[in-house]
């Protein structure tokens, strides 16, 4: 990212505190019946937790399963195995009634703001809808919508305008306002800034960080750019083909990665300075990591083995378990 952002310290989980979100051995397969049972897992035994007030970044290439995990948490994707708990309550198979009750506490910001903003409704109507569903009166909902727009850096009179009258970055701010208007505890941000230009990305990231610090929010921040995740998250989980490759404190994972795939992700992250970008390109090529297009491994073993310069026969026969290397957990026999 080219715009300067203020570095924020890592958060420490209070001893014995109940996680805001806990995902255990999550498995998701697409399809129905026998077809689903025979299909490879889109998400394969993924575990992580998010503490109150903490941001966990979920990062990986396209098709790594990160958005599938977000949908499973939000109840938009059926879970095939494992569990999802919110503040100690199991919501893995929560029904429509339980999901409605959670609607104000568990919210989402998606990549495309138009997915949450009806172009036929004014911005005020879009923001007020979640409040109306919770019994808030029209006048009070409008006042809250105006306050929330002001908080995300937009004028109060924007309530009477339509989404088409705003830029992409402004519409994403409106989506953030809609997500936060019910005072949620946890927000799932799925590629929330990936469609924005770099300066607007930085503005929205700073906004999300400020709101987190003010309100004690927890975020699951899903992205493919590890540099973006590095700014906002205190901890990072790196996914490849639905499996966790590395997880740990953001500084450890992004500045001193141990897994070859994480190293490749960091080296591939774009920077605005040509000389540094050239050095990164050279570092990426020196890693010897193969491209993913022709690398489709069979079942068993490490999913990254066909691209990995460290791979041996062991990697083809034995799936590496997560083990502690420094301050991070790494799924690699040779990290």
Query: What residue spans define the domains of the chain?
Result: 21-105+184-256
Is beta strand 243-249 parallel, antiparallel or unpaired with respect to 235-240?
antiparallel
pLDDT at 114: 78
Yes or no: say if 268 and 94 are a contact pair by the CB < 8 Å rule: no
Superfamily of domain 21-105+184-256: P-loop containing nucleotide triphosphate hydrolases (3.40.50.300)
Residues of the chain with pLDDT under 70: 1-16, 270-288, 290-298
| pLDDT tens digits along 98-110 | 888 888 889 999 8
- pTM, 2 dp: 0.86
DSSP β-ladder status, 81-86 and 89-90: antiparallel
Number of other CB atoms surrounding residue 148 within 10 Å: 23
């Amino acid at each position: 990212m080219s715009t300067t952002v203020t570095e924020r310290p890592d958060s420490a989980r209070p001893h014995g505190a109940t996680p805001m979100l806990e995902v255990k051995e999550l498995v998701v397969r697409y399809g129905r019946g026998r077809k689903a049972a025979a299909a490879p897992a889109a998400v394969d035994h993924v575990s992580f937790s998010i503490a109150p007030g903490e941001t966990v970044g979920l990062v990986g290439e396209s098709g790594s399963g990160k958005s599938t995990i977000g949908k499973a948490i939000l109840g938009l994707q059926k879970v095939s195995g494992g569990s999802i708990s919110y503040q100690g309550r199991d919501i893995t198979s929560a029904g429509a009634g339980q999901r409605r009750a959670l609607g104000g506490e568990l919210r989402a910001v998606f990549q495309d703001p138009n997915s949450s903003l009806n172009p036929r409704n004014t911005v005020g109507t879009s923001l007020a809808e979640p409040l109306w569903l919770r019994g808030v009166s029209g006048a009070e909902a409008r006042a809250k919508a105006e306050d929330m727009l002001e908080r995300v850096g937009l004028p109060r009179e924007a309530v009477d305008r339509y989404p088409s009258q705003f830029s992409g970055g402004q519409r994403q701010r409106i989506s953030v306002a809609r997500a936060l208007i019910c005072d949620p505890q946890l927000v799932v941000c799925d590629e929330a800034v990936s469609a924005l230009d770099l300066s607007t990305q930085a503005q929205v990231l700073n906004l999300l960080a400020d709101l987190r610090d003010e309100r004690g929010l927890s975020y699951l921040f899903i992205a493919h750019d590890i540099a973006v995740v590095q700014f906002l998250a205190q901890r990072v989980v790196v996914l490849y083909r639905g499996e966790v490759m590395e997880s740990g404190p953001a500084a450890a994972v992004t500045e001193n990665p141990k897994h070859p795939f994480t190293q490749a992700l960091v080296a591939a992250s774009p920077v605005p300075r040509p000389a540094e970008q050239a050095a990164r390109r050279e570092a990426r090529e020196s890693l010897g990591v193969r491209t993913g297009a022709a690398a489709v491994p069979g079942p068993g073993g490490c999913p990254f083995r066909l691209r990995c310069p460290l791979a041996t026969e062991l990697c083809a026969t034995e799936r590496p378990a997560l083990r502690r290397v420094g301050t991070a957990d790494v799924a690699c026999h040779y990290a």
